[in-house]
Amino acid sequence: MTDTAAVEILADVRGGVGRILVNRPRALNALTTDMVVALDQVLAEWEHTPLSAVVLASTSAKAFCAGGDIRTIREHSLDGDAEASERFFAGEYRLNARIAEYPVPFVSLIDGLCMGGGLGLSVHGGFRVVTERAVLAMPETGIGFFPDVGASYFLPRLPGAIGMYLGLTGSRIDAADALYTGLGTHFVPADGLDAVGDALAHAPGEPVDAVLSRLAGRSPVAKSRLAAVRGDLDWAFGAATLGEIEKRLRRLDTDWAAGALAALESASPQSLEITHALLARGRQRTLRECLDAELALTRTTIRTPDFLEGVRAALVDKDRSPTWQRGSLAGRSRPS
């Protein structure tokens, strides 16, 4: 573990509970290769430690983790350093698999932004606590990439066509929607998060679910916006092709459908095609198979003009005006 990683990943064991804090607040906890390696090392060492649970949280009220440090990946691509990118993605996906297979309950405290790699750190664990400030998203199609970190496994397993909708549009969801979809498992107000680790330590023989339920505030799930449009969402995004999804959204002629269509039209056409195919296949694959497929795709995708342009527009120049290689969805001929 490098000195920097030791500061950006803080870990200790108290009361039989492993506690990890992601501590890169100025970058919204965007994950670097060193941070991924440090997290993986901590969890590997703790597999031989008698623990009742592991709790992963953030030092920032703004972000749990805003994703991978994708600007650096773009720099590797421009420099022709494929090996550096491979180290990052292979290490990140190895960490995702470790979390999924961890021998003790893994509890993530999602407060603030949780996007891309942040979902990779949390959703594979058994318990995902969300606060009123939680914002979750897989926004990769907007930067010329695709939903990774095992998203081709967990998105197709969300209810109905919600996973396809979230993966293609990159739409952000709040705590209510996270609980409705199952991406979140418990709701705890932000001012109650600090009590979670100690509560688990004081009740080592009690089910984690019971401890978290005791700390929970009133669930906002009844306010889920996705629930309100669920029928239309399943019909539109359950279509077999991207072209048919577009046609059904136009036929709906609602504000929600217009927003979804606008999101598709602003995304990379290449990314939409990759994502649709990946998610369609993901339901029949294991997590390990999904991660292997995603790793293979990263090797080609991060060298494409759409990825370089998408990251430039979103994270480098921040003009939010990418010029995609094949134009927008709106500019393509529509299927009959």
Active-site residue numbers?
68, 117, 140, 148
Please give the structure tokens belonging to residue 22.
Answer: 């992601």
Distance CA 329, CA 262 (A): 9
Residue 184, SS3 per DSSP? coil
Neighbouring residues of 90: CB distance < 8 A, sequence distance ≥ 6: 295
Structure tokens belonging to residue 276? 């649709």
User: Taking each helix axis from N to C terminus, what angle separates 242-252 and 255-266, rounded to the nearest 10 degrees?
Assistant: 150
Cβ 88 vs Cβ 36: under 8 Å: yes
d(CA 201, CA 215): 14
Residue 70's alpha-carbon distances to 154, 236, 239, in angstroms, are 21, 31, 31
**HEC assignment per residue over 14-47:** ECCEEEEEECCHHHCCCECHHHHHHHHHHHHHHC
The tokens describing 84, both together, are 């550096």
Helix or strand (DSSP H, E) at 214: helix 208-215
User: Is the separation of the CB atoms in 270 and 278 below 8 Å?
Assistant: no
